[in-house]
Each structure stands twice: as structure tokens, then as C-alpha cells.
């Protein structure tokens, strides 16, 4: 059986990662969303164990000490980390695992897992990015400024990824991501068993 894909999606805050990932998950089979742990406070409508595992700084530090993270990073003054638990198990079962994580975290995963699929989401323009961050309505003026300032730096780092997708409309972005994943599943290095199966002892 073909191993699942480790799919990493990043992009500047407010680009629409959460929205795009939600639709991708709703429309795809056998794809598992890796729920991160974070020390930030839940936003309105967020539930512990659904969007994130909301933990204290002390709990987060214990998880680090116990080597429970594939990666972790400090983002906007809070800690975020990807629990390693179950990721390998799911990939071996042929299920894809989706990580929606920041750039520092993604660059760390790239070093550990060069076989992953790294996708960077871009906003159609900086103006539209501002509107989206404001439209989400969860930022105070200070956190808005901080998030918007770091957005341009984050966007420049996107060149280190393998794929770039502009989140113009959610539907088009999701279709592009589905196409990327379909192409990745056809890569020769993910399908060497097919040659052996077909040719057997002939070669
Ligand atoms: P992120 O997870 O990258 O921080 P969100 O998914 O929270 O971003 O999206 C930020 C805001 O932008 C939300 O209000 C969301 O509804 C909106 N949004 C996301 N994608 C689009 C899009 N393609 N067109 C218009 N608005 C969008
Ligand atoms: P938010 O607070 O808006 O949910 O997320 C802030 C940033 O943290 C986003 O860029 C998001 O992708 C990132 N993030 C979420 N989970 C993780 C994680 O487990 N690891 C890392 N490195 N970043 C994460």
C-alpha cells in the first residue's frame, strides 16, 4: 500500500489557511487534520480538542521535555506545536496527514521530512490580506499591527516551499491543492512497488 502524504500548509496570518483547510478536509477522504497544541487563548467559537488542544505554558513545556512534538515554535508570543503521536501510524495506514503550521515550524519539518508536501498559501494582495485579518475581527489594534507587520516577512519566506497557491477564491485554492496532492501520489518515488508488482521476476 502507498504511504499517506505528509502535507504542510503555511501562509501569512489571515491568508485563509484555516478556511481552505476546512474545505479541503470536508471534500477529501482519508486525510487527517493534525490538531496542534497551543498556549494561546481560545477565540470565540473555538473548542478544546477541535481547532487546538489549549494548554498552559507549563503543560506545553512538559510536552517538549517528553519529546512529544514533531516541531514547535513561538508565534506572536504564544507556543504552538505539532504532537507527533499518531502521525506515522496514520501515514503507514495510507492516510494523509495535514499540518497547518507557521513557517518556522514548517522549515523544521522540511529538514526532518523531505518526503513531505510543502504548500504556501498567498493572499491575492496585501490590501485583501488586511481586509481578511480585520474581517476575522479577533485582533486588537496592537495584535493586528504585529500580525500585519510580520506578514510581509512571512510571505518572503514562502519561496522555500515546493508549491505556491493563491487563495483568490476558496474553491479554486482547494481545487489546486487537490491537484497538487493527486500529482504527488503519482510520483515515481512513491510508486516503486508498482514496477516490481508488474514486472516481478522479468527484470
Ligand atoms: P488564517 O487561518 O490564514 O489566519 P482564516 O482562514 O482565519 O485565515 O481567514 C481569515 C479571514 O479571511 C476569514 O474571515 C475568512 O472567512 C476570510 N477568507 C478566507 N479565504 C477567503 C477567500 N478566498 N476570499 C475571501 N475571504 C476569505
Ligand atoms: P492562530 O493563532 O491564528 O490560530 O495561528 C497562528 C499561527 O500559528 C498560524 O500561522 C498557524 O499556522 C500557526 N500554527 C498553528 N499550529 C501550529 C503548530 O503546531 N506549529 C507551528 N509551528 N505553528 C502552528
CA distance 66 to 156: 34
Res 38 pLDDT > 80: yes
90 alpha carbon – ligand 1 mean position (Å): 28
Res 63 pLDDT > 80: yes
Kindly identify the ligand whose nearest atom is closest to the C-alpha of 98: 2
Alpha helices in the chain (DSSP H): 17-27, 57-65, 87-92, 103-112, 126-136, 141-157, 170-185, 192-199
105 alpha carbon – ligand 2 mean position (Å): 9
pTM surpassing 0.85? Answer: yes
Residue 150 has a pLDDT of 80
Q: Quick one: cell of 45?
A: 467559537
The DSSP secondary-structure symbol of 202 reads G
Ligand 2 atom closest to Cα of residue 52:
16
Residue 151 has a pLDDT of 87
Give pLDDT tens digits for 122-176.
Answer: 999 999 999 998 887 667 778 778 778 888 888 999 999 999 999 999 999 999 9
Residue 185 has a pLDDT of 97
Query: Which of the four pLDDT bands, split at 50, 70 and 90, describes residue 203?
Result: low
Residue nearest (by alpha carbon) to ligand 1 atom 26: 132
133 alpha carbon – ligand 1 mean position (Å): 8
For residue 116 and ligand 2, the question of a CB distance below 6 A is answered with no
For residue 100 and ligand 2, the question of a CB distance below 6 A is answered with yes
Furthest CA-CA distance within the chain: 68
Amino acid at each position: 500500500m502507498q504511504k499517506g502524504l505528509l502535507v504542510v500548509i503555511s501562509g501569512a496570518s489571515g491568508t485563509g489557511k484555516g478556511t481552505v483547510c476546512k474545505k479541503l478536509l470536508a471534500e477529501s477522504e482519508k486525510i487527517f487534520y493534525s490538531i496542534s497544541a497551543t498556549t494561546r487563548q481560545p477565540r470565540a467559537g473555538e473548542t478544546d480538542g477541535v481547532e487546538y488542544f489549549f494548554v498552559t505554558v507549563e503543560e506545553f513545556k512538559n510536552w517538549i521535555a517528553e519529546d512529544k512534538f514533531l516541531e514547535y515554535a513561538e508565534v506572536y508570543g504564544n507556543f504552538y506545536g505539532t504532537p507527533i503521536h499518531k502521525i506515522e501510524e496514520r501515514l503507514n495506514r495510507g492516510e494523509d496527514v495535514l499540518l497547518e503550521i507557521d513557517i518556522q515550524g514548517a522549515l523544521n519539518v522540511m529538514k526532518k521530512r523531505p518526503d513531505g508536501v510543502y504548500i504556501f498559501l498567498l493572499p491575492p494582495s496585501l490590501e485583501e490580506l488586511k481586509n481578511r485579518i480585520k474581517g476575522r475581527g479577533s485582533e486588537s489594534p496592537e495584535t493586528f499591527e504585529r500580525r500585519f507587520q510580520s506578514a510581509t516577512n512571512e510571505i518572503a519566506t514562502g519561496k522555500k516551499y515546493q508549491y505556491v497557491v493563491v487563495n483568490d477564491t476558496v474553491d479554486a485554492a482547494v481545487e489546486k491543492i487537490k491537484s497538487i496532492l493527486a500529482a504527488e501520489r503519482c510520483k515515481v518515488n512513491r510508486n516503486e512497488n508498482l514496477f516490481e508488482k508488474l514486472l516481478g521476476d522479468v527484470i
